[in-house]
Chain A
Amino acid sequence: MQALLEGLLGGGPVLTDGAWGTELQARGLQVGEFPDGWNLSHPDKVGEVAAAYVQAGSRVILTNTFGANRLRLGAHGLADKLAEINRRGVEISRQAAGAQARVFASIGPTGKMLLTGEVTEEELRDLFAEQARALAGAGADALVVETMAELEEARIAVGAAHATGLPVVACMVFDAGKNKDRTMTGVTPEQAAEGLIAAGADVIGANCGQGIEGFIPICRRLRAVTDRPLWMKANAGLPQMEEGRVVYRTTPETFAAAGPELVAAGANFIGGCCGTNPDYIRALKARLG
């Protein structure tokens, strides 16, 4: 398991991928339509996104399975397709990756809070185990628990992912507090590091929530408390509206210009989140070599 990570990281920082949802929208995914359902209805389009990242230089690509857990699928009437959606997600990315990239399968949050009692720990354990098993069974190289805000939910998901025997990446969204260095529930980078590693994460980090400049201090703080590889996927700045359309102002070049500093701060896996596309990965590749 560690061999895979060591092999990847042997030659320095590893480029991951960028956003998927916006890329799918560019290919016809409608507002409010559930992206993961496209693994069954539009596998060719999902494959195009995956392939675009591989071509841009991503050495790790994710899967279109962010919301493919029982709770979210259920909200879209797709609960009975859980195994298939996760399996196809891995297969589609695998086909695009070929020998050039590894497939790290995405596991996102449920969108329900333990805190409010909308969901119980036991339910979370079951549903993350179900998704993790489906992704592992389909042949994912690793699992990525991402975009987490609540530490307890993240820990449960990491535990379920760890139980498959695959390497586990776990990252949280730091977008709250005056310095944007806490998750929505107040978790600091240091608390996240301790909790996620104790739960079984091999790689920890941050994704979404803010632009790449904000990731540098967070990355530094994580590096100060752990030797584990760090995973960083920033947004292309914050979204703005322009003639009714959402645009992200940070250009691929500006984004990539922060790449070396992020590496200096300790990042090992670098990619993008909301607003980024294959151009951002290409620009990062040019900067980081």
Chain B
Amino acid sequence: MTDLKQLYDAIVAGDAKTARATTEQALKDGIEPLKLVMDHMAPAMGEVGRRFECNDYFVPELLLSARAMKSAMELLRPLLVASGAQPLARVAIGTVKGDLHDIGKNLVAAMLEGGGFEVIDLGVNVAPEQFVNTVREKNANVVALSALLTTTMPSMKTTIDALNQAGLRQQVKVIIGGAPITQKYADEIGADGYSDNAAEAVSLTKRCLGK
């Protein structure tokens, strides 16, 4: 029988190889995919977030853990889909128009994926219309906007305005982040949430969705 503590430990330690191997073994042993996610992997990512918050972990550790989670999820996702299990929600993420910086956006995307969300990564320099189209065509429940530059922050507001005009604002939650972003700015432009780091983005998204 697989020691599932190993799966938890591997994700916390950012050991993708062990995370994947343990998951493989657990599936062979007949353990339910959803149980693996909920009882072992999600708590591991929770621990990673906690360590990040108390400065034990920084971005490199966060990335490694998100990758370990992802490598295990690759095995589980087809099974979860086949069993009819839904992702927590579908997130359309991108760096806003005019801004080509993607480190923060990629981190948040990795953390959200690790946290059980389906992530549609639209890349950088994403026009408001692209976000609108993705919400409309792919039924995204969350729009996550990133900006590094103070000069491109206003594109966040433009994107929210575009969602409003398209009549889609009510059906999505908009979360924002990036070096110059503050809670005050999030409030001003009518975003549903802001977090100041990638680890917190997961709990923020859940909170916004009431999960």
Contact = CB atoms under 8 A, between A and B. Distances in A.
Interface of A: 21-22, 25, 31-32, 72, 75-76, 111-113, 115-116, 175-178, 182, 184-186, 209, 238-241, 244, 246, 274
Given A72-B100, A185-B60, A274-B150, 4 more contacts: A31-B151, A32-B152, A113-B63, A176-B59
Nearest to A178: B55
B58 A238 contact: no
A21 B59 CA distance: 27
Contacts of A238: 180, 182
B101 interface: yes
Interface string B130-173: 00000000000000000000111111010000000000000000
Nearest to A245: B154
Interface of B: 54-55, 57-61, 63, 97-103, 106, 125, 150-155, 157, 179-180, 182, 184-185, 188
A25 B151 contact: yes
A108 to B, nearest CB: 12
Contacts, number: 71
Interface of B is mostly: loop
A21 B58 contact: no
A241 B185 contact: yes
A115 to B, nearest CB: 6
Nearest to A111: B101
Contact of B153 (A175, A178, A184, A246): A246
Contacts of A76: 100
B188 A185 contact: no
16 contacts: A32-B98, A32-B125, A32-B151, A32-B155, A72-B100, A76-B100, A175-B179, A176-B59, A184-B58, A185-B59, A186-B59, A238-B182, A239-B150, A240-B184, A240-B185, A244-B157
Contacts of B154: 31, 244
A122 B155 CA distance: 35
